[in-house]
Amino acid sequence: MRYDRSRRILVTGGAGFLGSHLCQRLLNDGHEVLCVDNFYTGLRSNITPLLGHPRFELKRHDVTFPLYVEVDEIYNLACPASPIHYQADPVQTTKTNVLGAINMLGLAKRTKAKIFQASTSEVYGDPEVHPQTENYWGRVNPIGFRSCYDEGKRCAETLFFDYRRQHDLSIKVARIFNTYGPRMHPNDGRVVSNVIVQALRGENITIYGDGHQTRSFCYVDDLIDGFLNLMSSSDEITGPINLGNPAEFTIKELAEIVVALTGSSSQLEYQPLPPDDPRQRKPDIAKAEQYLGWSPKIGLREGLHDTIAYFKTVI
């Protein structure tokens, strides 16, 4: 969805997987883009094609510190999103979620900018409700290995809605379900990248648990459409709104599809399930369909085809 006029838009975490795709789309729609990243997990290669663009600016910055810029809109995507990366420095992960939200909300308050928060399906934890609707409060371990991310994102949502109530900020909160596509980090530890990389290398494919736990996989182009639709919706639509593909697959099914698409000789190798790993994950996207006119269009096999082609170029 295109905007009615050009804006100066800040994207934190802009050199990451989702952030780089968002920057590209915003430039394509005629906006000025200020990409901010501390390159903890973001990659300069993700945004190299954008560096010469006259409406693109890159700034190395950590969102745990205040940022003094002038912008019309803010997309707050800054935070490691894979367990391997966010558990490597859990204190910093919590700071990125909480202090990052405070600093970006403060910037939005000063500049009167509309602000978008990239929240996550992890706020639902290991859910007792299936599929997950936005009014479900979740089942999250507050002191586990994943808590820095899960509870950090939950606290960020709290801050967004308190700033809305206390300062009348224009906010948008999206709860993102598993997303995949080109520019995923090969070593991010997420299931799609893990399975594709192992299949392409002919290694055994690691399956945690019995492989019957489920996920719903959304292709990145569909997700970015959801971001833009939410951001351009009326101020009354604040979210949180689930954005994801409701087609549900077991992890074993995903691995078998990737093996077939790559022609790999890899075998499945089963390992113990990590602590607090959700058994089921599927979004209810009725609100996104009703309020944003959004639903994903790209099926898993089609999206995996393009994702596999990308990984062939980087490993």
> What are the Cα distances from residue 131, in Å, to 215, 257, 296?
11, 23, 16
Look at 129 and 295; give whichever has higher pLDDT. 295
How does residue 190 score in pLDDT terms, banded at 50, 70 and 90? confident
How does residue 82 score in pLDDT terms, banded at 50, 70 and 90? confident
Question: Quick one: what percent of the chain has pLDDT higher than 90?
Answer: 84
**Cβ partners under 8 Å of residue 89, min gap 6:** none
Question: Quick one: what percent of the chain has pLDDT higher than 70?
Answer: 98
pLDDT at residue 6 above 90?
no
pLDDT of residue 1: 45
pLDDT of residue 4: 55
> What are the Cα distances from residue 189, in Å, to 87, 116, 164, 197?
11, 26, 35, 10
Contact in structure between 15 and 39 (CB atoms under 8 Å): yes
Q: Per-residue pLDDT averaged across 185-201, rounded?
A: 91
pLDDT of residue 183: 95
Q: Per-residue pLDDT averaged across 214-224, rounded?
A: 96
pLDDT of residue 276: 67
pLDDT digits (tens, 9 = 90+) for 259-293: 999 999 999 999 888 776 778 889 999 999 999 99
CATH fold of 8-179+220-246+282-297: Rossmann fold (3.40.50)
Q: Per-residue pLDDT averaged across 199-214, rounded?
A: 92
pLDDT digits (tens, 9 = 90+) for 112-150: 999 999 999 999 998 898 999 999 998 999 999 999 999
Verify whether residue 149 is a known catalytic residue. yes
What tokens does 23 get? 């920057």
- Cα–Cα distance measured from residue 129 to residue 135, given in angstroms and rounded to the nearest whole number: 10
pLDDT of residue 275: 76
Look at 273 and 93; give whichever has higher pLDDT. 93
Phi, psi values for residue 32, rounded to 5°: -85, 135
pLDDT at residue 7 above 90?
yes
Contact in structure between 116 and 174 (CB atoms under 8 Å): yes
How does residue 39 score in pLDDT terms, banded at 50, 70 and 90? very high
pLDDT digits (tens, 9 = 90+) for 226-251: 999 999 999 999 999 999 999 999 99
The residues spanned by each domain of the chain are 8-179+220-246+282-297
Q: Choosing from 149, 163, 180, 219, which is the catalytic residue?
A: 149
Mean pLDDT of the chain: 94
pLDDT at residue 86 above 60?
yes
What residues pair up with 59 in beta bridges, in sequence order? Answer: 36
